[in-house]
């Protein structure tokens, strides 16, 4: 009987620890690993960063230049179930940690902003952005003007010539902004 009592004690302690780790990972912060070179030189491939989940938990809009973690599947509704199942701990246990749906990008535009790409620069509301963090001069240009809709942001990688971002996947719903780099 004493052995079972000890097993129950240890099992319940581990269960509580797992539950607390899940709650912290879903609502407060979690570590994540940078995958790829789209944020060079600011963030390097395989670099580990901590993500504050508070902005997602309390639905705060990110600021310009915030580095955010986002769900790139913008064509589908995001649910609380996604937040739980894609938590770092559960994604490791489920084997889904390597899925390339989570992106790390920089916020360039917010609701109502007009974004343009000309003269190898990004313009927000007619003004060129000062972007000392860029890896190299941007080669991308376009005659298209992007107007960020309400409830969305426009994001770009710092390595503009090698980044899959809002130019490709479109505007990012605020519900898909999962947190920001701490």
pLDDT band at 149 (very low <50, low <70, confident <90, very high): very high
DSSP 175: G
Which pTM value belongs to this model? 0.84
Q: What local confidence, expressed as pLDDT, does residue 20 receive?
A: 86
Q: What local confidence, expressed as pLDDT, does residue 166 receive?
A: 97
- Residues involved in catalysis: 38, 105
Residue with tokens 């030189």, as numbered in its chain: 41
pLDDT band at 177 (very low <50, low <70, confident <90, very high): very high
Please report the sign of the dihedral spanned by the C-alpha atoms of residue 86, residue 181, residue 56, residue 77: negative
Residue 169: pLDDT above 70? yes
43-77 per-position pLDDT tens digit = 999 999 998 998 878 888 999 999 999 998 888 88
C-alpha 11/C-alpha 25 separation (Å) is 21
Q: What local confidence, expressed as pLDDT, does residue 96 receive?
A: 53
Burial of residue 150 (CB within 10 Å: 0-12, 13-18, 19+) is exposed
Reduced to 3 states (helix: H, G, I; strand: E, B; else coil), residue 155 is: strand
85-142 per-position pLDDT tens digit = 776 555 555 555 545 788 999 999 999 999 999 999 999 999 999 999 998 999 998 8
Structure tokens at 68: 């955010």
DSSP 136: S
Question: Which class is 2-181 in CATH?
Answer: mainly beta
CA atoms within 13 A on the CB side of 43: 26
Cβ atoms of 51 and 31 within 8 Å: the answer is: yes
Q: What local confidence, expressed as pLDDT, does residue 135 receive?
A: 82
140: left (phi over 0), alpha (psi -120 to 50) or beta: beta
Helix (H) or strand (E) holding 146: strand 142-147
Q: What local confidence, expressed as pLDDT, does residue 89 receive?
A: 55
Q: What local confidence, expressed as pLDDT, does residue 117 receive?
A: 96
What's the mean pLDDT in 33-39?
Answer: 91
Q: What local confidence, expressed as pLDDT, does residue 103 receive?
A: 92
């Amino acid at each position: 009987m004493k052995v079972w009592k000890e097993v129950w004690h240890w099992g319940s302690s581990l269960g509580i620890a797992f539950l607390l780790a899940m709650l912290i990972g879903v609502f407060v912060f979690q570590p994540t690993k940078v995958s790829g070179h789209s944020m060079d030189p600011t963030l390097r491939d395989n670099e580990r960063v901590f993500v504050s989940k508070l902005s997602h938990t309390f639905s705060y809009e990110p600021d310009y230049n915030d580095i955010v973690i986002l769900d790139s599947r913008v064509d589908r509704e995001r649910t609380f179930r996604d937040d739980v199942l894609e938590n770092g701990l559960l994604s490791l246990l489920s084997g889904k940690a390597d899925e390339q749906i989570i992106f790390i990008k920089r916020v360039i535009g917010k609701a109502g902003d007009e974004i343009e790409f000309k003269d190898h620069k990004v313009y927000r509301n007619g003004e060129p952005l000062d972007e000392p963090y860029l890896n190299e001069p941007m080669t991308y240009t376009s005659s298209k003007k992007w107007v960020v809709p309400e409830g969305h942001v426009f994001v770009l990688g710092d390595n503009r010539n090698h980044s899959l971002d809002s130019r490709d996947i479109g505007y990012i719903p605020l519900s898909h902004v999962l947190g920001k780099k701490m």
